[in-house]
């Protein structure tokens, strides 16, 4: 019998509308409170999930703000790098909305839910890797306007051998935040010229 004041990771994921991995990352990063049972299962207070949902509702941008913001989806399985992306990008003070996924399957799902302006992807991820995710996304003509940036520790020769679409921008690790910021500024400037 479960305690109605606490949720399992799966129940929290369903309530928040995100993947199990995303909930686990939220717990690891401190975005959600949790404790572990003797058997190693996470238990998340309902109050913590409800507080996160309330914050989301109050942070929902107006239609005009949404049009002036760039939507960034980051596909990276390393929780440390996820935190670094989040912290660094937020510190720029630019109108960017960030979503985070830990594998290619969740990346495909999130793009299907809401197409980002820019996808920043690692190539080596569990399950569906970045190569396959990007090939599937680029096979869909409706996603042609979405920019794709790869940030990977794989050497350039190996990437060439395995193949990526020619319009994908490729950076090596460590994450080149200076170049990423320049890219985002360019995208924002282009959007303002169009609006």
Average pLDDT across the chain, whole number:
85
Q: How far apart are CA 168 and CA 58, in angstroms?
A: 35
Q: Which fold has domain 62-194?
A: Rossmann fold (3.40.50)
Position 58 confidence tier, pLDDT thresholds 50, 70, 90:
low
Query: What was the pLDDT predicted at 64?
Result: 46
Residue 47, pLDDT above cutoff 60: yes
| SS3 call for 9 | helix
Whether the CA torsion 29, 55, 112, 176 is positive or negative: it is negative
Report the C-alpha gap between 107 and 111 in whole angstroms.
6
The pTM score is: 0.66
Most confident of 21-35, 37-51, 71-85: 71-85
Query: Which CATH topology does 6-58 take?
Result: Multidrug-efflux Transporter Regulator; Chain: A; Domain 2 (1.10.1660)
């Amino acid at each position: 019998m479960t305690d109605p004041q606490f949720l399992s990771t799966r129940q929290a994921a369903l309530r928040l509308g995100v993947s199990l991995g995303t909930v686990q990352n939220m717990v690891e990063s401190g975005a959600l409170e949790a404790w572990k049972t003797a058997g190693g299962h996470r238990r998340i207070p309902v109050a913590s999930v409800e507080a996160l949902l309330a914050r989301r509702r109050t942070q929902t941008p107006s239609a005009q703000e949404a049009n002036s913001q760039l939507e960034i989806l980051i596909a990276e399985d390393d929780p440390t790098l996820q935190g670094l992306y989040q912290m660094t990008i937020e510190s720029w003070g630019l109108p960017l909305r960030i979503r985070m996924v830990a594998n290619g399957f969740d990346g495909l799902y999130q793009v299907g839910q809401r197409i980002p302006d820019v996808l920043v992807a690692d190539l080596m991820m569990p399950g569906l890797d970045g190569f396959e995710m990007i090939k599937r996304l680029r096979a869909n003509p409706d996603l042609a306007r979405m920019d794709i940036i790869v940030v990977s520790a794989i050497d350039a020769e190996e990437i060439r051998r395995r193949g990526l679409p020619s319009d994908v921008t490729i950076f090596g690790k460590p994450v080149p935040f200076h170049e990423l910021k320049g890219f985002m500024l360019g995208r924002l400037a282009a959007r303002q010229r169009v609006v």
